[in-house]
Chain A
Amino acid sequence: MGKLYESQKLALWYFTVAIVLFGAQLLFGLLAAYQYLNPDFLYGVLDFSINRMLHINAMVVWLIMGFIGGVYWFLPIETGREVVGIKLGKIAFFVLVAAVAVVVLVYLLVQTGKGDYFTLWFITEGREYIEAPRWADWGIVAVVLVFYFNVVATAFKSGKITGILGVLMIDLLALAGLYLAGMYFTPNISVDQFWWWWVVHLWVEATWEVLVGVLMAWSLMAVLGTPRKIVEAWLYLEVFLVFGTGILGLGHHYFWIGTPEYWLGIGGFFSALEPIPLVAMVVHAIYDAGSHKLKAANKPALFWIMAQAFGNFVGAGMWGFMHTLPQINLYSHGTQITPAHGHLAFFGAYVAANLTLMYIAIQGVRAPEGPALDSRAWKLAYVGFAITIFGMVGALTVAGFAQIFVERAVGGATWSAYIAGQEHPWVREPMYWRFGFGVLFLLSYVILVYDMLTIGKKAATVTEVKPA
């Protein structure tokens, strides 16, 4: 093991829990996907709603843990010093893991409660993505404050606030502040959804994108040695384009929740521009990788950087644009088009970013001075993920289109129309494809974990042999 900062050891803990939760996400996703094929499976024991909730909650938590890990990994490198409140940071880590464990156990064993405030505080808030009960919300806020203090204190103590650190500090503040908008009960569902989207959209389509921009900037410097000046210019351009389009792009969630008609125009226009920063990132990645002729000391990290740029553009950009205009969204809203977009965008933008960070950390631990990090298994996992994610997304897209026609356009969106849509072969059969590709996706995950446990270990022994 190379010499690591304490902060980087903490990053490894975060990455470890993150990758385990990734597995949990896939497991509950598969259970939910199977229930589409066989609705009686675990009926009344572990209903679709519970599996689906765990599927998306595990995702949110593991991605955030990966991001925190990424920041803890790069922060000492950027500032040239140990993170200031590292002990506090470690305590916060255990608090977070314990809180997540309790929340998951309550989801699994208690599942639902009576319709009162006790349920919102201790069982579930019942609002998609941020179902975590209120006590856990406050726990998350406390943990995030510790993390934020560590970032800011370390940056200021080091005496050099780089452009990347400046962007990171402002972005994290916005990210944490937005979460407060989710801790709120109102009987008015339009107001409820209005603030709910502040959390969900302004996280996923604004502050997370910028956070990943920061982490990818550091990754490019680490993997390709891209000069700071170039990376920072791109980062600022990205912030400009992401916030410039994404903040009012929030309006594409305000078409149909009771909010005024002007959101149709504002939301449609700005969200249609949201792919622009994603195109810019693709250009950046191709240029950088091309100028190094696809050679780097950390092959998997380089390829996951490329996957991130393309995946973000295709998943968030193209699949998002596909249904972002109100004229289309009137019919596609709430169909399988949404999860098609969701799966590809989260995978491309955030899973790929997390895997990049993890491979960089693996190299830092196992082969900081070389040789190049490479194996056969990471390639297999990479290709496996690429094929199976498109398999799932393709199936969901076909199902979504069919649903738009059968259920919405022809059927008039009623209960019976919904059933007619779901029973139509164009919706029913893709669900089998989705499940099949889902199983293969899980297999790719198993290969990925095997690779992460083994890559770089053999290489190290090879170099020891060579001089002799």
Chain B
Amino acid sequence: MNIGWLEVTVAAFVLTVISGAFLARGRNWLEPGFWKGFAIGGSLVMFILLWILTFDTLKKISMGSERVPSPTVINHKIGYEYNADRRMYVPVIGEEEPFFGKKWSEKEAYELITKGKLVIQSRNCMDCHTLLGNGAYYAPDLTKAWLDPKWETMIKPMLKVETREEAIAKWLMNTDKYPTWTRKMPNLGLSEDEAKAVVAYLKFMSAIDTNGFPDHFGKTASN
């Protein structure tokens, strides 16, 4: 279903006025009963519209949809490029690349990112970081963290490992030993499996179409 915001907004207004006027008919506008009609009419209209939009949205953000990728996206290169048609930055899913040295089947990938999400919740990541911009503001946003240039420029050389995923996993297990500035991330006791799962989750999350948030990630104003 192709839904436009203006149609929804106009429909919400018209339906609210009609239902409110119907329920409040014959009453003086200074009576409580008049506004009771509008309260009931308006609330119902909005609530019903929200449910319709919810069904539509949930369909469009299921895993493997255009907006939220399948977990197997971890087998691919991911980029973040400006899309001239949509006038915003969008994730670009590229050719295949090994992830921790292998190609993950659909089942394996699903289990891995499920584990990753559980680890992220169990360590309260959201109470320092933001994910998709939501959470706390004591540490960087993780929406596109997989794409962060710092893994290549600082962390990989520091930890002397070959790939980006190994660098992130090893760093996550030793955050207290490799501080990057004055605020050190605490060592949250991640096992190797847990660290890998978190890295997979970060890669998966970076491929979600977030309507261009954060804008021009990884590109400074001067370049």
Within 8 Å by CB of A125, from B60, B121, B221, lies B121
Within 8 Å by CB of A254, from B57, B62, B188, B219, lies B57
CB-defined contacts of B56 to chain A, threshold 8 Å: 260
CB-defined contacts of B136 to chain A, threshold 8 Å: 48-49, 52, 128
Asked if residues A236 and B124 are in contact (CB atoms below 8 Å), the reply is no
Asked if residues B218 and A412 are in contact (CB atoms below 8 Å), the reply is yes
CB-defined contacts of A163 to chain B, threshold 8 Å: 32, 36
Asked if residues A239 and B43 are in contact (CB atoms below 8 Å), the reply is yes
Chain B contact-residue range equals 35 or more
Within 8 Å by CB of A419, from B42, B47, B181, lies B181
Chain A contact-residue range equals 35 or more
CB-defined contacts of A333 to chain B, threshold 8 Å: 133, 213
Known: A260-B56, A265-B6. A112 touches B123 (CB 8 A): yes
B81 located at the interface, meaning its Cβ lies under 8 Å from any Cβ of chain A in the complex:
no
Known: A52-B138, A261-B211, A416-B150. A120 touches B219 (CB 8 A): no
Question: What number of A-B contacts does a CB cutoff of 8 Å give?
Answer: 285
Asked if residues A112 and B132 are in contact (CB atoms below 8 Å), the reply is no
| Interface segment out of the listed A86-94, A244-252, A302-310, A349-357 | A244-252
Taken residue by residue from 35 to 64, chain B's Cβ proximity to chain A (1 for < 8 Å, 0 otherwise) reads as 110110011001101100110111011110
Closest A residue to B36 by CB, please name it.
A236
Within 8 Å by CB of B122, from A119, A260, A270, lies A119
CB-defined contacts of A335 to chain B, threshold 8 Å: 137
B128 located at the interface, meaning its Cβ lies under 8 Å from any Cβ of chain A in the complex:
yes
Asked if residues A187 and B117 are in contact (CB atoms below 8 Å), the reply is yes
Closest B residue to A196 by CB, please name it.
B134
**B interface vs A, CB < 8 Å?**
3-6, 8-9, 12, 16, 20, 30-32, 34-36, 38-39, 42-43, 46-47, 49-50, 53-54, 56-58, 60-63, 67-68, 71, 86, 110, 113-128, 130-141, 143-145, 148-150, 176, 180-184, 186-189, 191, 194, 197, 205, 208-221
> Can you give 11 A-B contacts (C-beta < 8 A)?
A131-B127, A188-B62, A189-B132, A191-B68, A236-B39, A247-B49, A256-B212, A266-B53, A333-B213, A338-B137, A417-B220
* Other A-B pairs, 11, CB within 8 Å; known A119-B122, A189-B131, A261-B86: A49-B124, A111-B124, A112-B123, A115-B197, A120-B121, A189-B205, A240-B39, A248-B50, A256-B213, A266-B5, A419-B140
